[in-house]
Amino acid sequence: MIEEQLAVFIGSGLRLAVPLIFAGAGEMLSERAGVLNLSLDGMMLTSAFTAAAASWATGSPMAGLAAGVIAAVSVAYVQAILSVTLRANQLVVGIGFNILALGATTFLYREIFGPLSRDAIPGFTQLNWSWLTSIPVIGPALSHQTWLAYLAIFMVGVTWALLKYTSFGLAVRAVGEDPRSADKAGINVARTRYLGVLYAGALAGLGGAFLSIADSNTFTENMTKGAGYLAITAVIFGGWTPWRTLGACLLFGFATALQFLVPALQLDVPVALLLLLPYLLALIAIAGFVGKSRQPAALTIPFARGAS
């Protein structure tokens, strides 16, 4: 019985961490280039709604996934125009996008999905690999996932390889630390930052689409529940490195999954505390009690060629 509950807990923790892993990996790269996407939650929410709408309209979850990613990248592109080209305050832009996304998706949800049942939206099914379920605890937890869960882990590896082994990764790191010196070395600062923001938007789109067409197969108002903010916190918690950011995302996912495990074990822990736990951990990370990693020197600082 305990083994079964533990398998469910691990599976739930991984499932709940998947959207954070996607968004965190993309945001980490963008911040390494010097751009903070506080609009990450809005990108995910926009993707979740668009993916649900497209999947419902076409009957194809893949079409929904593609539409969700395109929608999030579109938001990211506007974010890049405002933050990089127009050099607007990145915090203000991000908050504005989040408010707009929440209002727009809530209105459209009530107009389109309000009368629909929870089963009306086609979504991805679990893999249920029989050969994996024979492994105690870990096997069932890993097999009862959609393919997007494995893609999330893979994208962390891709992000790590991009930063460590490619010329683009070198440009990202240079621009995030000293954009003026990077510009003098021939690196296109604006293009590098644009690509970083678009990369974050694409992965946020995957994370948002996962919520609506792989996790719940429905859309609800504000269904991200601050997942974008948790992903940004995971980047800070992880010290702006890919694998530590992955660890932080998993920590938040498993902290959220405790709300299912603790009642099953009949432990006397207030439910409100379990619901609060991921955000409490995020607050601790933001406050600087966990780790003393240095952020990219040029994070949130706009750059203009020729300006002193």
Q: What is the pLDDT of residues 90-122, one digit of tens each?
A: 999 999 999 999 999 999 998 887 765 455 689
Q: What is the pLDDT of residue 143?
A: 83
> Would 157 be classed as within a structural domain?
yes
- What domain range is 155 assigned to? 2-115+144-287
Q: 130 lies in a domain? A: no
In the prediction, which pLDDT does 290 show?
55
Q: Looking at the domain assignment, is residue 122 inside a domain?
A: no
Query: CATH number for the domain including 24?
Result: 1.10.3470
Segments of the chain with pLDDT less than 50:
117
Cα distance between residue 160 and residue 151, in whole Å: 14
Please work out, in degrees rounded to the nearest 5, the angle formed at the alpha carbon of residue 39 by the alpha carbons of 224 and 284: 70
Q: How many folded domains does the chain comprise?
A: 1
128 within domain boundaries = no
Flag whether 9 is in a domain. Answer: yes
Asked if residue 32 is part of any domain, the answer here is yes
